[in-house]
Amino acid sequence: MNIPSFLLQPEPGQIIQIYVRHRCVDFRYGFCRAIHHAGGQVQFVGGFRRREDPSLSTPWAEPHDFGIQPFERFSFELAPEAEWMSLTTPPQISL
């Protein structure tokens, strides 16, 4: 059995925003660097979510494994990569 498969990877400086539909509303599910599609399943490669400090002033990217998901639940959009998306650790708080 030959299952068609492809890898969607945007140009450098762009990321993929992932949306999940609940009833008639699309919610941002997270972000990723690439999408691997095989059969009716997708895997989000290099997945991450936005996190912020308690004052909501300093965001960073927290790596996240979204697992393998059914393709029909999600929609995608290319977006420019923001500065916070390259930060993988929370900023240090100075007292």
Residues 71-87: tens digit of each pLDDT? 888 899 999 999 999 88
- Report yes or no on 56 lying in a domain: yes
Domain count, the chain: 1
Domain span including residue 49: 5-86
Q: Is residue 94 situated within a structural domain?
A: no
95 within a domain of the structure (yes/no): no
Residue 91 lies in a domain: no
Is the pLDDT at 36 greater than 90? The verdict is yes
Name residue 50's amino acid.
Answer: R
pLDDT of residue 93 exceeding 70, the answer is no
Structure tokens at 28: 């941002």
As a whole-number percent, the residues of the chain with pLDDT over 90 amount to 54
80 against 92, higher pLDDT: 80
Nearest one of 55, 48, 20 to 34, comparing CA atoms: 48
Identify the band that residue 34 occupies on the pLDDT scale cut at 50, 70 and 90. very high
pLDDT of residue 81: 94
